[in-house]
Amino acid sequence: MTISETWLLPDGVADVLPEQAQVVETLRREALDFLAVRGYQLVYTPFIEYIESLSSLSESNQDLDLVTFKVIDQLSGRLLGVRADMTPQVARIDAHVRPIEGVARYCYAGTVLHTKPQNFNATRAPLQLGAELYGHDSIEADVEMIDVMLALIEHTHNLHGVHLDLGHVGLFRSLVKRAGLNKNTESVLSDLYQRKALPELEEFTKDLAMGTDFYALGRYASDLDALQTHLSQDILNDVEFKNEFDALKTTFTQIQSRWPNLNIGIDVIELRSYHYHTGLMYAIYAPNRAAPLAQGGRYDGIGEHFGRSRPATGFSCDLYALGATQFVEIETIVAPKGNDQDLLNAIAKTRSQGLCVVQLLGNDDLSSVPYATHQMVSQNGQWVIEKI
């Protein structure tokens, strides 16, 4: 290996330089403070733990298992996983470490690691920030999470031109259950929906049990009124399907009333993380960006693996992606060397105001701080700051 290759980073991993690091750190602090005043308590979770805690081999966690890096623990010989998502860890806290009664609200921010990028041009080491609510299975809980997510984006970013997508995996699941489809057929339908392949869907559903309903679900996925008109009475009378359909409509109405200027869309065949989510799903998108700014949904029963099954809903975002287009000029004030008390007092006072001051060392001059934007100079016995 040549010397030039030793400093190359793996694909999907990058350094974060000062101009963006300051943006990201400001976002992190503001976001956690924002969540704290809404009752979301901060938790720190370990970067690595036994693989059984991070992702079981059950169907609901296969996607997570595939993106989890695995290593052998040199102390125990057991398989460890580097966290790829912090939600299972928070679920462990809620179920086993801090099993409080009633509603629990948690928030977190930390680096996670993926075996491969999860979206186009995404990092494999996102700085994941999220909020989760355990212990309540109501529409109000889902609305709270969406409302908090939107308010957070508005507070740390802005909502100009953004679009909120709402979906519900329960509609597809209820229809599959009602039609009595096998896993293979369910998987084919899920793939067709994800690819929005309407001609293929129409052909595939021609001879399928309740095929007209499956086609209608794809054809009118973004229009609940039209969807309701084209669905059969058989599925509309199904109690489970009806409850989920009504929940989606109610959520849409409540969010629209809280955010009247927000562009809200419906997509009932958005089945990302289909095996992970159990109900309502939501994501917020910005113009000219393929990946969502933030996304989440309901994942009831996630704590069952840890011995305590509870309703749960939450969202997360990548702070690197959230601050990707934002850069700041870091103002740096250079002070001359010396131990004069007036100078030291002036430096201390300036720093107490939150400004960055670098004092020269030894024989250094202003050129030794190439990123300096201002300098401290003495004028008429007073130390003042001048722009360079």
> Do 216 and 128 share a domain, yes or no?
no
33 is in an annotated binding site: no
How does pLDDT run across 14-33, given as a tens digit for each residue? 898 888 899 999 999 999 99
Q: Give the closest residue to 369 by CA, choosing from 359, 384, 377.
A: 359
154 is in an annotated binding site: no
Total domains, the chain: 3
State yes or no: pLDDT of 70 exceeds 70.
Answer: yes
272 is in an annotated binding site: yes
Q: What mean pLDDT is reported for the chain?
A: 90
Give the CATH number of the domain where residue 191 resides.
3.30.930.10
Gap between the Cα atoms of 24 and 43, Å rounded: 19
Mean pLDDT, rounded, for 208-227: 94
86 is in an annotated binding site: yes
Of residues 278 and 359, more confidently modeled: 359
> Do 342 and 317 share a domain, yes or no?
no
> Do 71 and 220 share a domain, yes or no?
no
Range of the domain at 95: 13-157+289-328
Mean pLDDT, rounded, for 255-284: 89
pLDDT at position 55 is 61
> Do 134 and 246 share a domain, yes or no?
no
> Do 225 and 322 share a domain, yes or no?
no
Beta carbons within 8 Å of 81's beta carbon, 6+ residues apart:
48, 49, 50, 51, 53, 54, 55, 68, 69, 70, 71
pLDDT at position 96 is 85
Residue 58 lies in a domain: yes
> Do 63 and 111 share a domain, yes or no?
yes
313 is in an annotated binding site: no
pLDDT-derived band at 277, boundaries 50, 70, 90 = confident
Gap between the Cα atoms of 23 and 286, Å rounded: 18
Which stretch of 155-159, 232-236, 245-249 has the lowest confidence by average pLDDT?
155-159
pLDDT-derived band at 271, boundaries 50, 70, 90 = confident
State yes or no: pLDDT of 5 exceeds 70.
Answer: no
Q: What is the pTM of this model?
A: 0.88
State yes or no: pLDDT of 58 exceeds 50.
Answer: no
85 is in an annotated binding site: yes
**Residue pair 306/95 in contact by the 8 Å Cβ criterion:** yes
Q: Give the closest residue to 150 by CA, choosing from 142, 141, 159.
A: 159
> Do 149 and 21 share a domain, yes or no?
yes
- The angle formed by the CA atoms of residues 245, 251 and 254, to the nearest 5 degrees, is 140
State yes or no: pLDDT of 3 exceeds 70.
Answer: no
Mean pLDDT, rounded, for 139-152: 96
